[in-house]
Chains A and B, each alone.
Chain A
Amino acid sequence: MSLLEVNDLTIEYHTEDGIFRAVDGLNFHLDQGKSLGIVGESGCGKTTAMLALMRLLPESGRIVSGEVTLGGTNLLALSTDELRNYRWARISMIFQGAMNALNPVYTVGKQIEDTLKLHKTVPSKMTKKTMEKLFDMVGVSSTRANQYPHEYSGGMRQRAMIAMALACNPQIVIADEPTTALDVMVQAQILDLLKELQRELNLSIILVTHDLGVVAELCDDVLVMYGGQLAEYANTDRIYNNAVHPYTRRLLVAFPDIQNPEAELASIPGYPPPLDNLPPGCRFEPRCDVSVDICSKKIPPEVEAAPDHLARCVLVKGYRNNQ
């Protein structure tokens, strides 16, 4: 059994304007020490799914069905008290735009120490030492612990946020677009840091991003999401070299590749489907350039394109055998 298993996760937002299904029957798993990339455009349910894993959905968000098991315990069934032993302690998250998430009026060191005290991760005498160790771990000199966030550069703030996510020794860290606002050199440094931490701490990482390049650098497996559903799920090598879902294929050629700058770029026309107006059939059908009749009528099931390679597309071989 995997460390983290997500089965049939379905999430809806209940708002005044109606009920919107943001995540629909999502399945994936993550082993100890491995990393999973979750890829897709804005609005395809990546962040919603991650917030559900942390049980941090906004009030309007409802988990309609599904299970999230971490080491055999269903996180979705825990009471708030029980949850405390899991959230941040075993699974933690680096939020999108986390660089701006530090409190500007406290020193960075104090904010990390507070986290340690609150969770009683270490005896209170040890908090300062542990805090300094965390600084060391993420590559920020601990002499900067008593500086304020504004004295940090963007890359250092991101490192501080990683330190905070690691404060309670979690097994899994979810990083939501951890490098999006950083420039390429700092991005490379942060990716190296994540790789190193993964190796040293045997950490499992979920990396949420829309940048397939970043995923190729870091991840063992990739889950491509579209319209709240799994579009394709396989190991990294297969996704980049044997992708079968038209959406994945289009994503791969949507942006310049420095090793092949002459290649024709093909952006994906149109936009992801609005949640209040999902197409009746395949969610990608309106933007798909290889769709056939049945695509607009029926939501395709997840089919095995190869062992451990799932795709939700009728064109995948094996679909007809499944019927």
Chain B
Amino acid sequence: MNNTNLEVKDLRKLFPVHRGIVGSILRKSQRWVHAVDGISFNLDKGEILALVGESGSGKTTTGLCALGLVEPTEGKILLQGMDIVELAHGPRKQELRQKAQLIFQDPYESLNPRQTVFRAVSEALGVHKLAKNDKQKLEIAVSTLEDVGLKPASTFLHRYPEQLSGGQRQRVGIASALALNPSLLVADEPVSMLDVSIRAEILGLLLRLRKEHEISMIYITHDLASAAFISDRVAVMYLGKIVEIGPAKVVLKDPLHPYTRSLMSVIPIPNPRRRQTRTVLKGETPNPIDLPSGCRFHPRCPVAFDRCPNVQPELVDVGDHHQAACLLVDRQIP
């Protein structure tokens, strides 16, 4: 049986840069932001893939494309074999909206302050006709809230977001996504706004849900430590490209791309005795309008050599389902 839930093939997304009045009068050529520039990956049922990278690496755009909220410039995205773009424009749009759900970063801003928990969780049930009447809505809301650990649900149903803690709010956010019984969840930095003491609970909850409901998940983060903990596979992105992808354990044990290594080295280690040499990259991700030639990472790469500005490295398989795009990954050096 085919176990693939989501297939992303050669996904590209370019956003036009606004030229302004003067620009269009002078007929300046249109410039583009290369948010995502040719990436492919598969996601199995019940699998968690972490997209890791700095701001501007294209990880959120990839997530939004997978949800059908942003239309790709090129490439195909298939959810359970169905083309997402066709779905999003066709009569079965509702089905897509139900199957692919988003968990937001900031639970302080993503909940409507004037909606009770019950409404936040049940509103979409009506839209998708998953509940015939109010009684059924209530039943689903109660069981979903208990599923995400808000027990007993009756004490939460009629509360407003301001009466909840950050962790509880994020659970409500997860419950509203879960209530629709999705097959794909995109979680965009779901714990970065939460206190450290609560993060583990939320990560644990996501892990339990994917096991019980066989949900595939794209976990978007800049924090490799949490990615290592929650995901089965990790894809490291830089300027719209996947530079390294593989099983989380393999990638973290043996990172091959200099960017992955650097990202790993800057994660603060909670013990001064285990402090490691850090490779802090200078500056920030270059703007994705004027991309560097050759390997996009070469201007910031600590080990770049003369061929790097000229050759764009492709992902090479190094075994163990582990791929990296760097000329230094042995087989590419002539």
How many Å from the CB of B198 to the closest CB on chain A? 6
Of residues 184 through 235 on chain A, the ones whose CB sits less than 8 Å from some CB of chain B are 184-189, 191-192, 210-214, 216-217
Cβ contact within 8 Å between A251 and B271: no
B201 (CB) vs chain A CBs: closest residue = A267
Chain B residues lying within 8 Å of A258, measured Cβ to Cβ, are 224-225, 228, 252, 264, 267, 269
How many Å from the CB of B222 to the closest CB on chain A? 4
Cβ contact within 8 Å between A267 and B223: no
A257 at the interface (CB under 8 A from B): yes
Q: Give the number of chain B interface residues (Cβ < 8 Å).
A: 42
Cβ contact within 8 Å between B222 and A183: yes
B270 at the interface (CB under 8 A from A): yes
Per-residue CB proximity of B268-289 to A under 8 Å, as 1/0? 1111111110101100100000
Chain A residues lying within 8 Å of B204, measured Cβ to Cβ, are 265, 267
Q: Contacting A192 at CB < 8 Å: which of B224, B228, B280?
A: B280
Cβ contact within 8 Å between A267 and B273: no
Q: Contacting A261 at CB < 8 Å: which of B167, B199, B252?
A: B252
How many Å from the CB of B298 to the closest CB on chain A? 16
Of residues 276 through 307 on chain B, the ones whose CB sits less than 8 Å from some CB of chain A are 276, 278, 280-281, 284
Interface size class of A (residues with CB under 8 A): 35 or more
Cβ contact within 8 Å between A186 and B195: no
Segment of A121-129, A236-244, A305-313 in the binding face: A236-244
Cβ contact within 8 Å between B225 and A255: yes
Cβ contact within 8 Å between A271 and B165: yes
Per DSSP, chain B at the interface is: helix
A153 at the interface (CB under 8 A from B): yes
B268 (CB) vs chain A CBs: closest residue = A213
A250 at the interface (CB under 8 A from B): yes
B226 at the interface (CB under 8 A from A): yes
Whole-angstrom CA separation of A240 from B268 in the bound complex? 13
B229 at the interface (CB under 8 A from A): yes
Chain A residues lying within 8 Å of B225, measured Cβ to Cβ, are 255-258, 261
Q: A216-B271, A240-B271, A258-B267 are in contact. Are A185 and B281 (CB under 8 A)?
A: yes
Cβ contact within 8 Å between B54 and A185: yes
Cβ contact within 8 Å between B196 and A212: yes
Cβ contact within 8 Å between B272 and A188: no
Which of A155, A251, A258: most chain B Cβ within 10 A? A258
Cβ contact within 8 Å between B197 and A267: yes
Chain B residues lying within 8 Å of A257, measured Cβ to Cβ, are 225, 269-270
Chain A residues lying within 8 Å of B266, measured Cβ to Cβ, are 184-185, 187-188
Q: Contacting A259 at CB < 8 Å: which of B203, B223, B249, B269?
A: B269
Chain A residues lying within 8 Å of B273, measured Cβ to Cβ, are 237, 240-241
Chain A residues lying within 8 Å of B274, measured Cβ to Cβ, are 259
Cβ contact within 8 Å between A267 and B272: no
Per-residue CB proximity of B105-122 to A under 8 Å, as 1/0? 000000000000000000
How many Å from the CB of A323 to the closest CB on chain B? 31
Cβ contact within 8 Å between B196 and A184: no
Whole-angstrom CA separation of A192 from B278 in the bound complex? 10
A268 at the interface (CB under 8 A from B): yes
Cβ contact within 8 Å between B197 and A268: yes
Q: A42-B166, A185-B54, A188-B266 are in contact. Are A241 and B271 (CB under 8 A)?
A: yes
Apart from the given pairs A192-B280, A252-B270, 10 other A-B contacts in the complex at a CB distance below 8 Å: A184-B263, A185-B262, A185-B281, A186-B284, A212-B270, A213-B269, A255-B270, A261-B228, A265-B200, A265-B203
Please name 25 pairs of A and B residues whose Cβ atoms are closer than 8 Å in the assembled complex, sorted by A.
A41-B197, A42-B166, A154-B55, A184-B224, A184-B263, A185-B263, A187-B268, A188-B278, A191-B268, A211-B196, A216-B268, A217-B275, A236-B272, A255-B199, A255-B226, A256-B225, A256-B226, A257-B269, A259-B274, A261-B248, A265-B229, A266-B200, A267-B199, A267-B201, A269-B201
> Interface on B for A, CB 8 Å cutoff?
54-55, 165-167, 195-201, 203-204, 222-226, 228-229, 248-249, 252, 262-264, 266-276, 278, 280-281, 284
> Interface on A for B, CB 8 Å cutoff?
41-42, 153-155, 183-189, 191-192, 210-214, 216-217, 236-237, 240-241, 250-252, 254-259, 261, 265-269, 271
A-B pairs with lowest CB-CB distance, top 8: A213-B268, A267-B200, A188-B266, A256-B229, A183-B222, A261-B228, A265-B200, A267-B201
